[in-house]
């Protein structure tokens, strides 16, 4: 059965490029990103893993750990990591699961027969500190993932988890947010003392509350 938003992310144990890891223990009390790759030595994924490695400090600021997955084995991973480090001018600094038995791929529904029954599709799961799935995105093999967008989404998810707000289209850190419809307009000043705007009765904005 396919996983959906709000479902508990399944735990698993797996061999990775950084040793045998329990997923929940790896995440601890933080957030996580689990993302899959069709196979080692694929060109688009090579650039993606390099991008993730360069963003390590940004993920750390958000208390977020990343873990990648490929259905190839550890020896293959080691060679691929060497290529990634060389071509992307970085050092891969996160584990890559060696999912040769497809255990994790099937647990997270990463193999779609309509795409290719032998390879994982390029899925991304954002997992909250409550181990619930907060975001699922699936990309085709030809389109590289936008990890700046994933950082933006994590910012939104973490903000809206703690405040009664939502983030509008194209929102970025520091911009105004939307007040939850559940809050009465007359109650906004007490909850959001930085001020607010009433654009429509159902569309009220306020400065980002955690800054």
**Within-domain flag for 8:** no
How far is residue 23's CA from residue 34's CA, in Å, rounded to a whole number?
Answer: 10
Closest CA to 50 of 101, 87, 17: 87
pLDDT, tens only, 61-118: 999 999 999 989 999 999 999 999 999 999 999 999 999 998 999 899 887 655 554 5
**Within-domain flag for 106:** yes
148 & 202 share domain: no
68 & 98 share domain: yes
Q: Is the pTM of this model over 0.85?
A: yes
101 & 180 share domain: no
42 & 127 share domain: yes
19 & 35 share domain: yes
Question: What residues are paired with 203 via a beta bridge?
Answer: 200
CA 156 to chain centre: 12
150 & 167 share domain: no
Which of the residues 14, 33, 45, 159 is marked catalytic? 45
Report yes or no: 44 and 8 within 8 Å, Cβ to Cβ: no
153 & 167 share domain: no
How far is residue 154's CA from residue 164's CA, in Å, rounded to a whole number?
Answer: 16
Query: 63-100 in b/e burial notation, b at 16+ Cβ within 10 A?
Result: ebbbbbbbbbeeebbeebbeebbeebebebebbbbbbe
**Within-domain flag for 39:** yes
The answer, yes or no, to whether residue 32 has pLDDT greater than 80, is yes
pLDDT given at position 122: 81
142 & 191 share domain: no
User: For 6, left (φ over 0), alpha (ψ -120 to 50), or beta?
Assistant: left
**Within-domain flag for 211:** no
Cα–Cα separations (whole angstroms), residue 200 to 166, 176, 184, 196, 208: 16, 15, 13, 12, 19
The structural domain count of the chain equals: 2
Q: What are the tokens at 145?
A: 């993932």
Which range of residues forms the domain containing residue 96?
A: 13-158
pLDDT given at position 2: 84
CB atoms within 10 A of CB 190: 8
pLDDT, tens only, 141-152: 788 999 999 999
Closest CA to 100 of 119, 123, 78, 127: 119
Q: What are the tokens at 102?
A: 């497809």
CATH of residue 188's domain is 3.30.1020.10
Q: What is the largest CA-CA distance in the chain?
A: 62
Known catalytic residue at 45: yes
How far is residue 81's CA from residue 94's CA, in Å, rounded to a whole number?
Answer: 11
**Within-domain flag for 2:** no
Q: What are the tokens at 141?
A: 């093999």
């Amino acid at each position: 059965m396919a996983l959906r938003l709000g479902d508990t992310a399944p735990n698993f144990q797996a061999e990775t490029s950084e040793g045998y890891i329990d997923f929940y223990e790896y995440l601890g009390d933080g957030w996580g990103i689990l993302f899959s790759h069709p196979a080692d030595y694929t060109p688009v994924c090579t650039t993606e893993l390099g991008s993730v490695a360069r963003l390590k400090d940004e993920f750390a600021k958000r208390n977020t750990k990343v873990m990648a997955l490929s259905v190839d084995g550890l020896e293959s991973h080691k060679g691929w990591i060497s290529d990634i480090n060389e071509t992307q001018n970085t050092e891969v600094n996160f584990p890559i699961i060696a999912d040769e038995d497809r255990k994790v791929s099937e647990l997270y529904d990463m193999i779609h027969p309509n795409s290719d029954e032998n390879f994982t599709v390029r899925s991304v799961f954002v997992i909250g500190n409550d181990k619930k799935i907060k975001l699922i995105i699936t990309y085709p093999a030809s389109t590289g993932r936008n990890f700046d967008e994933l950082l933006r989404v994590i910012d939104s998810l973490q903000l809206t988890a703690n405040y009664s707000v939502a983030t509008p289209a194209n929102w970025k850190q520091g911009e105004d947010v939307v007040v939850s419809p559940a809050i009465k307009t007359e109650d906004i000043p007490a909850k959001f003392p930085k001020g607010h705007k009433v654009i429509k009765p159902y569309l009220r904005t306020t400065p980002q509350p955690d800054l």
